[in-house]
C-alpha cells in the first residue's frame, strides 16, 4: 500500500456588467493551487517528487450582444487546469534501491542467490521535477438567430481548445524491443519519464437547428 497525499486550494470571483442595453460582459478570475504530492510514510524519495506550481491563474471572459434584429452573438474565453496524476508518482517506489532484480542459473538451496547476477535496472519511473499543471484554453464564438417563431432558432458556433503543458510519458532510453547495446545509456534498461510537455489543439464548426413545427412537435438537428 502507498499513501499519496495532496492539498488543493481554489478561489474564484466573478461579476456581470450590463454596460449597454444590448451588451453584457462576464468577467471572472480563478486561482488553483495543487501542492506537490507526498507519501504518508515517506516511501517516495525526494528526487522523484514534483515541485509545486504556484502560477495557476485562470481568467474567464464572456459577452452577449443583441445588436442585430432577432440575433444574439456570444463569445467566451477561459483557462482551465487539471492536476498532474499522482498514480504515476507512486510507481517510483519500485525503483532501485528499494527494488533490485537478480538472476541465477540453477540456484541451489539454502542460498538461492549465491551465484546470482544483479540485473540491469529496467522499467524505471522517473518524473520530471519541473512538471507544471496541465492547462487548456477554451474559446467560443457563437451567433444565434430566431427564425419564423421564438422557438425556432439557428445557431452557428466556433469552438476551440488549446492544450499546453499536457502530461505524457516518454521513453528516452528506448522501449522493450531495443537491444541493450543500442540504448543511449546501456547501463540501464527502459526508463519511463513523466513530463508536462505535450500540446493539443481542437477547432470546430458547430451548427444547431431547432424547429417548432407544431404545438406538440419539435425537431432538432446538429452538425460538428
217 to 208, 211, 213, 220: CA distances (angstroms): 17, 9, 6, 10
- Distance between alpha carbon 15 and the CA centroid of its chain, in Å? 27
- Which pLDDT belongs to residue 105? 83
The helix (H) or strand (E) run that includes residue 89 is helix 87-90
- Which pLDDT belongs to residue 86? 85
- Which pLDDT belongs to residue 125? 92
- Which pLDDT belongs to residue 204? 98
Please report the domains of the chain, with CATH numbers, ordered by start residue. Answer: 4-98+120-223 (2.40.170.20)
Instruction: Write out the three cell numbers for 142.
Output: 457563437
Q: Nearest 5 degrees, angle CA 149-CA 154-CA 157?
A: 150
- For each of the chain's 224 residues, which pLDDT tens digit applies? 788 999 999 999 999 999 999 999 999 999 999 998 888 888 888 888 888 999 999 999 999 999 888 999 999 999 999 988 888 888 888 888 888 888 888 888 888 888 888 888 888 999 998 899 999 999 999 999 999 887 899 999 999 999 999 999 999 999 999 999 999 999 999 999 999 999 999 999 999 999 988 888 999 999 99
Give one DSSP letter per residue of 103-153, joined into a string.
Answer: E-SS--SS-TTTT-EEPPP-SEE---TT----EEEEEEEEEEEE-SSTT-E
CA terminus-to-terminus distance, the chain: 45
Is residue 204 within 8 A of residue 146, CB to CB? The reply is no
Q: Is the peptide bond before 97 cis (omega within 30 degrees of 0)?
A: yes
Amino acid at each position: 500500500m502507498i499513501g499519496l497525499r495532496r492539498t488543493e486550494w481554489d478561489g474564484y470571483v466573478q461579476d456581470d456588467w450590463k454596460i449597454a442595453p444590448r451588451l453584457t460582459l462576464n468577467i471572472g478570475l480563478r486561482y488553483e493551487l495543487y501542492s506537490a504530492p507526498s507519501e504518508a510514510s515517506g516511501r517516495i524519495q525526494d528526487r522523484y517528487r514534483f515541485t509545486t506550481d504556484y502560477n495557476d491563474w485562470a481568467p474567464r471572459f464572456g459577452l452577449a450582444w443583441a445588436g442585430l434584429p432577432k440575433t444574439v452573438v456570444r463569445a467566451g474565453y477561459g483557462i482551465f487546469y487539471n492536476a498532474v496524476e499522482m498514480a504515476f508518482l507512486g510507481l517510483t517506489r519500485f525503483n532501485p534501491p528499494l527494488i533490485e532484480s537478480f538472476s541465477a542459473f540453477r540456484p541451489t538451496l539454502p542460498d538461492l542467490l549465491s551465484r546470482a547476477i544483479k540485473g540491469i535496472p529496467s522499467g524505471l519511473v522517473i518524473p520530471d521535477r519541473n512538471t507544471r499543471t496541465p492547462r487548456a484554453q477554451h474559446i467560443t464564438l457563437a451567433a444565434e438567430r430566431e427564425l419564423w417563431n421564438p422557438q425556432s432558432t439557428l445557431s452557428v458556433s466556433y469552438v476551440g481548445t488549446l492544450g499546453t503543458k499536457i502530461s505524457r510519458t516518454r521513453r528516452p532510453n528506448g522501449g522493450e524491443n531495443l537491444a541493450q547495446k543500442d540504448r543511449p545509456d546501456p547501463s540501464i534498461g527502459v526508463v519511463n519519464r513523466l513530463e508536462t510537455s505535450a500540446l493539443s489543439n481542437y477547432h470546430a464548426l458547430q451548427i444547431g437547428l431547432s424547429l417548432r413545427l407544431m404545438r406538440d412537435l419539435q425537431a432538432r438537428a446538429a452538425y460538428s
